[in-house]
Structure 1
Amino acid sequence: MAPSSPSGPAVLCTSFTLLTAALAIIGTRIYLRLRIQKQSLVAGDYLMIAGWISAVAYISFQVVYELHGALNPEVNWDFGNLDADAKEIEHLSKMSWASNIPFYSAFYLCKASLLATYLRLFPYFMETRRMLVWAAVCYCVIAYLITLGLHLLSCLPLERHWIITGPIKACDPDWGALVLHISWGLHFFGSFILFTLPFLVIHELSLTKRVRMGVYAMFLLGLVDMTISLARFLSVQLGNFGAFRSVTIIGLLIVCLTSLRPFLGGDLRASEIFNYDESTKSGMPHREDRGGFEEIDDFEIPGANGFSSGRISRNSFESAKSELDVSWAEDEKRTQDAIEMMNVKARNTTHRQTEDYWTNM
C-alpha cells in the first residue's frame, strides 16, 4: 500500500465531517422550505435525505472495518494481508460486498435528487431540454440497475463473493476488476451528464452578476466530484485503494449545496405569469335578416312599478344598432390586440419564469 493512503481515523474523520456538513445543509434546506417559504418538501428533498441516509449506512461499514483494523493503510482491498483468521476475513469480505448497496445507492440517489431539481428548473415550454433531462433520468435508472446487478448477481451463488475457505470457488478477481470498470464508467458518465445539463438553460437567464457567479460556482462543484471520482479510479488502478475512501461522498455535499439556491435569489424578480384562453375571444351577436321584412320586437323595460311592455320597429332601431356594431367591432379589435400582446408577453416570460425558480424553490 502506498504511503499516501490515509489512516483509519483520518478516513472516518473526513467522512463524518462531510456527513455533518451535508446534514447541516439539509437542515437549512428543510427550514427554508417549511418555515420561511411555507411550502412542503419536494421530491428532490426526499431523495437528498435518502442519499444522506445511504451515505451514513456506507460510513457505518467503514466503522466496522476500523474496529477490525482493516482501514490501516497497509491492508489490501481484499484483506488478504490482514492479521486475522479466515472467518474474520470472510466476515469483512461479506461486509465489503454488502457495502456496495449503500455506496452506489448514495451516488445515484444524489443524481436522482439533482435530476428532480432539473425537472423543476427546466420549465415546461423548454420541451427539448426537458426531454434531455428525462433521457438522463432513464440513463441513471438503467445505470444503477446494471451496477447493482453486476456487483450483486454477476457471481453466483452469492457466497462466492466472500468465501475463502471452500468448498465453493471464489469469484474471479479479473471479473471483479471488469465490474469495477463498468460501474465506474457508468457513474462517471452520469456525473458528466448532470454537470452539463444546467448550462443549457442558465446562460439564457437574465441574472445579476452576483447570482450568476454563485450559480455557476455551485454547479462547477460538480467538477470537484468528477475529479475526485477520476482520482479514486486511478488510485485503485494503481493499487492505492484507500486513498479516496472518504471523500467519494463529496457528491452528496454538492447535491445538498444546490438545494440552497434560493438564498442566491434575493435580487431576482418574481415572474409575471400570464394565463389566458384563446377560446374566449369576444364575438358579436348575429341575427339573420328575414327576407328584408321589417321585424317588430317586443321588449320589456324595468321601471319603478315593475316591467312595462312596448314594441319597437327594426328599421327605427337600425341607426342605434349600427352605432352599437361599430362599438362592438372596436371592442373586439382591442380585445384581439390585447390577446396578441399577452401572447408576446407570455413568450417574453420564458426567462422570467425560469428565474422565478431560484427564488421560490
Structure 2
Amino acid sequence: MTAAYRLRYSPAALWRRCLSGLRTRRLLELHLVTLLVLTAVAATALFLSGRQAQRSADALAAREAPAVQGLAASRLAALRADEEIGRLVELKLIGVAGSGEAYRSQLSAADQGLSRIADRTDADLGTIKGLLATYSDSLARGTSLYGNDPLMRTQRLGQAESLLTRETVGVAPRLKVLQGRQLQHAEATAAMGWWQHAGWWTAEIALSGAVLTLLSALFVLRDRCGRDWNPYLLAALVLTVLLAVVPLMTAHSTQGDLDGALEDLRQITEISWQGGATEAAQRNVTEMSEEVRRQLAGGTWTESVYRGALVGSLLAVVLPVLGLGLRLDRDYWRRW
C-alpha cells in the first residue's frame, strides 16, 4: 500500500470529501445547530436521570430504610418481652421486686420504635400500637394483680401471649406482614426503572454525538479557515467527555450503595423473622442498621456531582455557541 493511497483514503481525506459539497458557512451553521440540539438533549437527560437517582437515595435513607429497621427492631423487642416473661415464670420470679425491668424495657423499646416510624410508612400503626398496649396491660395484670393466684396469672399471661403471637391478628404477625410490604417499597425505591435506563442511554448517545460533532467542527475550522485551535470548542470537548463519564460513574456508585443497603435490609428482615428474639439477634439488627445508615450517608457528594453536571451541561451548550458563533459572526454574518 503506497503512501499516496494511504493519504487519499485516510479518515481525514474521506471526511473532507464528504463535506466538500457544502459551503463553509453552511457547514459551520450545521455544526452549530447539531451541537445545540445534542447538548440540550444531553443536559435534559442528565438532569432528569441524576435528579431521580438522588431522589431514590434520599427516599431510601430518610424514609424506607428507617421504616424497615424500625419494624424489625420493634418486632424483636415485643417477642423478647414475651420470652422474658416466660423466663420469669420458669424461674418463679413473678412478683419479685425488680424482676420485670427487662420485659418492661423491651415493651418500651417496641412502642418507641413504632412511634418513631409512624410518619415513615403508609400503613396505619394505630391498631398495632393499640394491641401492644393491651398486651402490656395484660402482662402487668398477670404479674402484679395475680401474683399470688397461679391459675389467674397463667390465664392472663396466656391471653397476653395470644395478643402477641396469634396468627394473622396478633402483634407479631401483623408486624411481619407490614415488614414485607415495607421491604417491597424499599426495593421499588432503590430499583432503577426502564425509563431511568433510557435517560442515561439518551444522555450518553447525545454526548457521544456531541464529541464527534465537536471534533468535526475543529477539523472544519482547521481545514477551511486555517484555525488550528479554538479554545471554546476545545473546552467544550473536554467538558463533554467529563459529562459522559463522571455522572455515569457517580450513578453507578450510588446504585451500588443502594443495592448494598437493600441487601442489608433484606437480612435485617430475615433475622427478625427467622432468628429467635434473642439479645444476639437484636444486636445484629442494630449493627446492620448502622451499616445501612453509613452506606446511605454518602449522598452529599453525589448531590454535588449532579449539581456540577447541571452547570457543566449549561456550559456545554454555551461554549459551542461562543466558539462557532463568534467565528461565523466575524467571517460571514457581519457581511450581510
TM-score (structure 1 length as normaliser): 0.38
TM-score (structure 2 length as normaliser): 0.41
Greater relative contact order (Cα 8 A, min sep 6): structure 1 or 2? 2
Q: Which has the larger share of helix?
A: 2
